[in-house]
Structure 1
Amino acid sequence: MDLKELTAFQTILQEGSFAKAAAKLNYAQSTITNQIQRLEKELGFQLFDRGWEAELTPAGQIYAAEVDRLIQHWHYVSDQAKAILREETGTLRIGMLEMLARQIMPEALSRFREEKPHIACQFVIGNTDLAASELRRKQLDLAICGEPPELKGLRFEPLHEEKIVFAAAKDHPLHLHGEGKLPFQELLPFPMVVGGPTCLYYLHLSRQLARFDSMPLLHSVSQISAIPGFAARPPFIGVVLASTPLSDQVKPLAVDWEEPTIPVGLLDRRDTVYPSAARERLIGIIKEVWLTEA
């Protein structure tokens, strides 16, 4: 068997028919049929019931469950062999939170380039929800983000704990509170500027607000780094992560509340059985930089 035959079989499963698979691969339908027939001959059993367009036989169902792993293994062995003959080349696609793009990745990329000068990196900046979605769609090789509420098909390795911070302009009335921490309810009369509903901390904040009879007016911003700009204008309170840079006009509020910690780390697909050496080295460098920055 060869990779084209495995790819043809995989595409039929994904598209649902021989005709759609042929269109997807830009083949004639007869080419797809011939590839499957050769694969069946080499395997020694029939994959599809010929009475149906793409109905798997019982043996075909067992083989289908392993075809992704077989193709991954094929690429892995090929990549390993090529790496011996020449320098590694290619592209890694990494999703990440905005704060990490500012703090961790510039140094990590600099170190990675010294070891893998011919590997390009594409960074997709977004929240945890976007990273999880793109990983499931196989549009990313790796993500560095929070832990999504639903981990089906994914695995998460925590590396860092983030905290939520309330910040306001230096001349905000709440900064005149005096000594000690502000009771949380004293924040409620003031409008808050927060990240969107899929942001890392939104659920934690929502649970806290749900404990009170009154709710502050919430304004949402998709980029957390933009929130301090709004917080510089009283009476707004900005709700950010502890790693978010604040301007000189804004400072954190000392608030008495059940402050949650939010895990941030590496998010990956569980079906990544044969990761590339370049990808694994980038992960190692990210961990090294994270420990240095912590």
Structure 2
Amino acid sequence: MNTNDLKIFEAVATSGSFTKAAAAMFTVQSNVTARIKSLEEEFGTELFTRTSRKVELTEGGQTLMQYCKQIGHLVAEAKSNIQSSTKINGNLKVGCIETTMVFKVPEILNRFAEEYPDVELEFKSDMRNNLINDVLNYKLDAAFVTAPVNIKGMAQINIKEEQLVILSSSNGPKLNELLQKQPLKIIVFDEGCVFRARLESWLSSKGIIQYKSIVLNSIEGIINFVEAGLGISLLPEQVISHYYSGRKIMSHSLNKQLGTMNTVLISREDVPQSRALKVFIEMYSPSIAAKHGVI
């Protein structure tokens, strides 16, 4: 077995086809079949169930897939660290939720680029659970997500505590009046958004279970809809006070349990970290963060 065998195995698992895997690996199907057969003999178990329509991982194949991801990650880190013994370079993939992407990523990029110009920093915005899964599956090196994150093998650094507020139009009815309307309209991101989940929990605490969700994919869109009186929403107070203070929007405080949001920076702790990832994480250690005003 060699690393190329594992790459062929991953290609079959990802594509669900020996033919597609052969094309992706620039080889012939007979070689793919032979390499998979060799792996199955070496591990003493079938790695795929084969039908006329699809190839799927067996339980043993799923286990090997997890190890393949770890091995691929380790090989990439080894190459990066060996080839760059005198300077910090490489590629970092970092995830974050929408508000971090829009308002914090530009300053993070500028600050990090000034200190480590040879590191390529790539950001991805997504829902919390997707970001956590991407870190677990080596698709992201780290991610800014909301706490708590209680997962074995996951390291985390406390970044910031924020206050969340309910938003309504200052030109429309008072919040109490809006809550009496049937159906109440809420302006939110898609399912999986922490702000949407908090807003729905708050409504539930008020005994409101009937409401209409208007789903948007940007903060600017949510602000515009709320300002126009099309519904209520929930976002961090700092976002509103720093970037939308001039808009015709009213902010309404929440209790501590629902109104407090803690952000953490997560990464895997069960694999060696690249030097690029180490310096990125160190930037958010309490002493350095306080010195530079990070997040």
**TM-score for both structures, normalised by structure 1:** 0.69
Equivalent-residue separation in structure 2 for 1:143 and 1:4 (angstroms)? 29
Match of residue 250 from structure 1: 248
CA deviation after TM superposition for structure 1 residue 240, in Å = 1.9
- The verdict on how the C-alpha distance between 1:104 and 1:286 changes in structure 2, with shifts beyond 3 A counting, is farther
Cα RMSD after superposing both structures: 4.4
CA distance in 2 between counterparts of 1:203 and 1:36 reads: 44
One-letter amino acid matched to 2:84: A
Equivalence for 2:55? none
Provide closer, same or farther for how the CA distance between residues 63 and 227 of structure 1 changes in structure 2, counting only shifts above 3 A.
closer
Q: CA deviation at 1:173?
A: 4.3
Report if the CA contact (8 A) 1:166-1:253 is conserved.
yes
Residues paired across the two proteins, number: 276
* Alignment partners' CA distance in 2, 1:254 and 1:213: 18
- Partner deviation per Cα, 1:58-77 (whole Å, 9 max, x = no partner): x9999887554444333332
Cα distance, 1:89 vs. partner? 4.4
Cα deviation for residue 83 of structure 1 reads 0.7
State whether structure 2 residue 202 is matched by structure 1 residue 224.
Answer: no
Mapping for residues 16-31 of structure 1, pairs under 5 Å: 21-29=21-29, 31=31
Aligned to 1:145: 145
1:278: how far off? 1.0
Between the aligned partners of 1:38 and 1:129, the Cα distance in structure 2 is 36
The C-alpha deviation readout for 1:23-76, integer Å capped at 9, x for no partner, is 442223565577689999xxxx944579x999xxxx999988755444433333
In 2: Cα distance, 1:14 partner to 1:187 partner: 49
Q: In 2, distance between residues paired with 1:189 and 1:61?
A: 51
Give the alignment partner of residue 179 of structure 2, picking from 188, 194, 213.
Answer: 188
The 5 A counterparts of 1:148-159 are 157-159=157-159
- 1:218 deviates by 4.2
2:196, 2:234 within 8 Å by CA — same for their partners in 1? no
Offset at 1:195? Answer: 1.7
Identity %: 22
Partner of 1:78 in structure 2? 79
Counterpart for residue 239 of structure 1: 234
Letter aligned with residue 187 of structure 2: V
Quick one: structure 1 residues 127 and 244, their matched pair in 2 at CA, closer, same or farther if it must change by over 3 Å? farther
**What does residue 160 of structure 1 align with?**
160
Aligned amino acid, residue 78 of structure 2: V
Distance 2:168 2:13 in 1: 55
Q: Deviations over 1:130-170 (max 9, x none)?
A: 43454456443322122489968866544223332123344
2:54 aligned residue: none
| Correspondence for 1:204 among 198, 206, 215 | 198
- On the 8 A contact 2:166/2:254 being kept in 1, the answer is no
**Distance in 2 between the 1:132 and 1:172 partners?**
39
C-alpha distance in structure 1 between counterparts of 2:95 and 2:28, whole Å: 37
SS of 1:210's equivalent in the other structure is helix
Shift in Å, 1:279: 2.0
**Distance in structure 2 (CA, Å) of the matches to 1:238 and 1:62:** 42
Q: Is the 8 A contact 1:194 1:238 kept in 2?
A: yes
Contact 1:194 1:221 in 2 (8 A): yes
Distance 1:79 1:216 in 2: 51
